[in-house]
Amino acid sequence: MAQGSDILVLENYIDGKFVSSKKYIDSFNPATGKVYCKLPDSTNDEVDAAVQAAKRAFPIWTAWHVEQRSQFLLKLADMIEARLEEFAQAESKDQGSLEVLGSSGILNFYSFSDMTLRCFAVKFSYLLTFPGKTLAQARSCDIPRAVLNFRFFASAVLHYTMQCTQMEHLHCLNYSIRSPIGVAALIIPWNIPLYLLTWKVAPAIALGNTVVVKPSELTSTTAWMLCKVFQEAGLPPGVVNVVMGRGVGAGAALVSHPDVPLISFTGSTATAQEISCNVALLLKHMSLELGGKNPAIVFDDANLEECVHTSILSSFTNQGELCLCTSRIFVQRGIFDKFLKAFVKGAQEWKPGPPDDPNSNMGALISKEHLSKVCGYVERARAEGARVLCGYSVDPPPSLPEQNRGGYFMNATVIIDVKDSSVMMQDDIFGPLTCVVPFDNEDEVVRRANDVRYGLASVVWSRDVNRVHRMAGLLQTGVVWTNCWLVRDLNLPFGGMKASGLGREGAKDSFEFFTEVKTVIVKH
């Protein structure tokens, strides 16, 4: 619904109905710095209403055969795909940024849909012509990924098999079965909102659970639009509910609710620690996908051209507001100067700008407060003696149009002469900046790369196949890419080590998280 001529007012979606709220939160367009949307500031009562609706719907939805749920997810995928343009417009405006898939050419996603192997290939241009979060990019990337999530899990749920053993001497047959757990709390971050929402909703409901979603208060529009699809598709009331609001209000009420047995959270490590402390005594199932301080390690035998191109993408995609972005680049000393010269040149040509400008490479950061935080880190690095080779400025980029001068834009920033102990090398900053430092040998770089509290992802660049396998075993990260970045097979586990997460997501891992296993022993 609209208020006035250009302010969108969102509603919660509870028990199959859109419900207005008594209080609202302003949501800003990051590219202009102006309010364009208002969303509910949900209370405990609204959260409880959503949980109770999900609880009532659970036995109804669980009674559906898995084939019926699978077909319904495929229907949802088709309906989202039919509204691709509408979702692309909203996603671009709501988050004002870019997510890029793959490296040096094509990224392949594989899924089984209607018993047919489907390959989703996303192509992109190289460094100098790569677009920002334009509408074209939202059309070709972000929304298709959300569609893929429903199609992938709709198909994969039909092919999950259980264990069976026989104890002949005891005349016993043993087998395991899995059952949906109940109401799942799904908490979504702001950086790739629709993709991450569908990444959690699809397996949860495919397996028979019901859900209450809490999207970020900074990016709730596409969650609200998705609820319209659920309603039009005829999803039984209460299977999916969406309550909006702040983490300290709606989020805290949701994760601590006694009728919510499992929580899937993607966001910051600090917030996850609060959630863990608050629900520890309740013994809830938890899956936590958190931040990172991801290293790239460039050996002197790397394909330097491909490495520089992809490292630009891995450092500045989505303005660095992506948990998988590279923020520490270790370069072997013999090629350090050559790499640095090419990398800085590429970073200087990586331009921030309006999402609808085909010449933009990056959009705006998510908020004024976050921009200030990222800039503060650069100032602190300078005070510690680090050098900023390009990018950072306290003033808006001069190339911005007048209507975007109030937006939260920052240039791609490259920093050198920084110590491993610096906050620049230790903290999850989540902005368009990266540190480039030299190293001499494998043992040294493994120790330095692992010397952080995070362990989400890493990249190794080398032509030596023995070395890349050796490094993959030594690096303390949940994902290790070699000579590529952001290639994903949704069948395989995704998640981090140490402070980067708890549990994994993916076909098998999501199925195990959203179900409870039971062993049955039959004597015959």
Residue pLDDT, tens place only, 233-246: 999 999 999 999 99
- Closest-CA residue to 157 (of 174, 180, 185): 180
Instruction: Please give the positions annotated as active site.
Output: 289, 323
pLDDT band at 104 (very low <50, low <70, confident <90, very high): very low
At 88, is the secondary structure helix, strand, or coil?
helix
Q: At residue 69, does pLDDT exceed 50?
A: yes
Task: Report the pLDDT averaged over residues 64-85.
Answer: 96
What percent of the chain shows pLDDT beyond 90?
A: 76
Q: At residue 100, does pLDDT exceed 50?
A: no
Q: At residue 247, does pLDDT exceed 60?
A: yes
Q: At residue 306, does pLDDT exceed 60?
A: yes
Check: CB of residue 501 under 8 Å from CB of residue 288: yes
Question: What per-residue string of b and e applies to 404-423 under the rule 16 or more CB within 10 Å gives b?
Answer: bebbbbbbbbbbbebebebe
**d(Cα 385, Cα 394) in Å, to the nearest integer?**
18
Instruction: Tell me the CA distances in angstroms from 88 to 95, 106, 120, 144, one per residue in order.
Output: 11, 21, 18, 10
Question: What per-residue string of b and e applies to 357-393 under the rule 16 or more CB within 10 Å gives b?
Answer: beebbbbbbbbeebbeebbebbeebeeeebebbbbbe
Quote the pLDDT of residue 97: 46
Token pair recorded at residue 420: 């491993």
Quote the pLDDT of residue 140: 64
pLDDT band at 109 (very low <50, low <70, confident <90, very high): very low
Q: At residue 122, does pLDDT exceed 50?
A: no
**What is the pTM assigned to this prediction?**
0.90
Q: At residue 286, does pLDDT exceed 70?
A: yes
Task: Report the pLDDT averaged over residues 413-431.
Answer: 97
Structure-model confidence comparison of residues 279 and 303, the more confident one: 303
Task: Report the pLDDT averaged over residues 63-74.
Answer: 98
User: Domains of the chain, with CATH numbers?
Assistant: 2-76+160-290+500-520 (3.40.605.10), 294-488 (3.40.309.10)
Task: Report the pLDDT averaged over residues 57-66.
Answer: 98
Q: CA-CA-CA-CA torsion for 421, 473, 430, 199, nearest 10 degrees?
A: -160
